[in-house]
Amino acid sequence: MDKKFEEVADIAMEPQTPASSMIDFLSVLTKYRKFISRFIVICTVGTLVIALLLPKWYKSTCFGISR
């Protein structure tokens, strides 16, 4: 086996406390913050464009007590 693979496997097998897993999660978020923010903005803009370009195919009606 490759030595680097063994080191990664050993790290993966270590038990983690909730605090260490939260620190790992936050470090991943900070490492990829540009990618995450760009991805969210691109998805939001894309969804907005699609929503505005689609034709309206519904009609709202209300069946209730009329005054």
Between 23 and 3, residue with greater pLDDT: 23
Distances (CA, A) of 24 to 10, 20, 27, 39: 16, 6, 5, 21
Segment 11-55, tens digit of pLDDT: 666 666 777 788 888 888 899 999 999 999 999 999 999 999 988
pTM of the model: 0.53
The one-character DSSP state at 55 is: P
